[in-house]
Structure formats: C-alpha cells, structure tokens
Amino acid sequence: MFGRNPRKAREMEQQIRNRQVLKEYVCRVEGEFPEGKTECGQPVEVVSYKIGVCKVSAHGKECRTEFERLSYNGVTSVVLCRPFTGRMHQIRVHLQFLGFPVMNDPLYNHTVFGPDKGKGGNIGKTDEKLIADLISIHNAENWLGMDGDTELSMFNKGDEGDGKGDIASKILPADGSPNSNKKEGCVTAPVHSVHHNNFDPANPLSCIENNPLIPRNCTITRPPPITRPCRSPVVLRQPLESAPLVDSEDDELLAKNKEYRYAPEKMTWDPNCYECKVRYRDPKSKDLVMYLHAWRYKGPDWQFETRLPQWAEPGWQQPQEEKK
C-alpha cells in the first residue's frame, strides 16, 4: 500500500504500528484443514536474518494468527488467514507448525525441515545444520530475502538485523554465493574464469573473445581508471546479438511500451565485476507465484480488497505442468 501524500502515509503507518489494521490473506495449503476457526499463538524466532528463515521457538517473539477454512477440493484447502502480529513469515511458519504448509511454498514446505516438514516444531536438527542444508538445497533466488516483519522495516533498524553473528554469515563464503563451498569428494569441471586475476588489461578483447562464459547480448565495458573516476567506462565490444523481435499479438505490453524492450546496447558487462559473472537460470512461471495472497486490509475508516486469484476457487485443481 502507498499513501498518496505524506500525511496519509504517516497516518496509515501509525495505524499499522498500533495494530488498528485488520489484515486478511488467502492461501491454499496441503491437506484437509480443520473446519471452523483455528488459532495458532506459537512464538516465532528468526533463525537467520541474512537468508530470511524462521521457525516456531520458545525463544521467539509473541505471535498470533487466526485461520479459517473456506473450501476443500479433496487434496488441498483454501484457508483465510488473519495475522494479529507482524512477524517475518508469520503465516507460512504457523501453517508449517500446524502441518498444513502452503502447497507450493519453496521454503517451509520442504523435507529439509525433517520428514514431517516441521509439523509441531519438530525439525530434528540444530539451527546451524538447518541453515547449511537450506543453502545447499535451495537456489538462492527462490527464497532468500527478508519480508513481512513490521519490526524490521526502514523505521526500525535495530542491531539484530545487520547480519552480524548471523548463522548464514558463518556458513556462506565471503562473496555470498551459496554455490561457492566445495564439497569433499566432488569433482568439478574446469571453469573459464573471468576474474580480475587472469584478466589481462593489455589484451582485453582476446580475453573476452576466448571465454565462452561471456554473454553475447550486451556491451562489454571496462571501468575508468581510479585516478579519473568521473570518466565514462571504456567500451571494449558492442553486443554481438540484437534484441529479439517481439510479436505484438504475443506481448501487448511491449507493443505499447517500446521503452520496456531489452536493449543490448544499454546492457553492460564488466569482466572484473562479481555480479556480472553470476549466471542465474530463468525461473519458470510456477516459480514466480506462491499460493498466498494479500486479500483485504481494513483500517478504522477505510477498507481495501483485491480480487481473489484463480487458485483460490473452491474447485480448482493444480495444473499438470506445476506438478513436474
């Protein structure tokens, strides 16, 4: 939600802080959720702020969520969720504890939390082991991040959210890459590195053209010298591939807004930049949507409601392509 002016934004912020806003979410969970209302008041603890993982724990903060089943299709249930506190991943953690995780939750609906997927708070491993297993199993872009905790917002920058002493900080290497740890006994194929240690500034083009990992659809640049930081980057190579043609019938948004199209000449790549060298897989459509939807917010004198997604319909069945 966005306030259309500073006064209204501050007013809404205070209402949320003072718990004057009733928040209602809808989700689809595994199994047959009990009929009627179910309340979970288990405290929630942040296991790692760095990668955003929580669990039910006696050492956690006060937390309360009310659940109400809306429908059941024989396999999964649609559940209305009313969080009365604003803890990180509160709804997802409480549903995991009750044994009814969100059906496509890539984090809390996983056997990494034990054979019962964390039901009843039974994980069966230390926090350190849990974080190590999560880092080795999950692809970072699927679940890493911190969201949902009103006490960790820009208005509440406490000491505990800075990553110091975080379990994940001790496990992850200095560059933050979850794939950088080498496992004992593993044989890895040789990698054509483009790190600055073997990048020859005197022969940049030969280094670039001989490396198969360097993308073809962007401009290769080299930063200006540190002695003259205000100068523009040096262009080493223009893109070898042009932007793909877009069929107006296939993509209405790009047809109406040409400035949104991918422009190779504007995309740059720096051989000395770590982030430029990280290769991410393109997510599938099923990776981009979790069946947890913010449905309705009610304030003292206002209310906002969104349209329910298709998966919240009573007779909905999971598409075959999502089961793969």
- pLDDT, tens only, 155-171: 344 444 555 577 777 67
Tell me whether residue 27 is exposed, middle or buried, using C-beta atoms within 10 angstroms of its C-beta: 0 to 12, 13 to 18, 19 or more.
buried
Q: Give the DSSP H/E element, type plus range, for residue 26.
A: strand 22-30
pLDDT tens sequence across 221-253: 777 776 666 777 777 777 776 656 555 555 676
Residue 11 has a pLDDT of: 92
For residues 74-97, average pLDDT: 96
Q: What is the pLDDT of residues 270-321, one digit of tens each?
A: 767 766 666 666 677 777 889 999 999 999 989 999 999 999 999 999 888 7
Neighbours of 94 (CB within 10 A): 26
Helices (H), ranges, the chain: 6-17, 90-98, 127-137, 140-143, 167-171, 204-209, 252-256, 274-277
Closest CA to 207 of 265, 270, 280: 270
Q: Does the pLDDT value for residue 85 go beyond 70?
A: yes
Whole-model pTM over 0.75: no
Give the residue, 70 or 211, on which the prediction is more confident.
70
DSSP state of 320: G
CB atoms within 10 A of CB 194: 20
Q: Distance (Å, rounded) from C-alpha 131 to C-alpha 172?
A: 10
Six-digit token string for 164: 């110091």
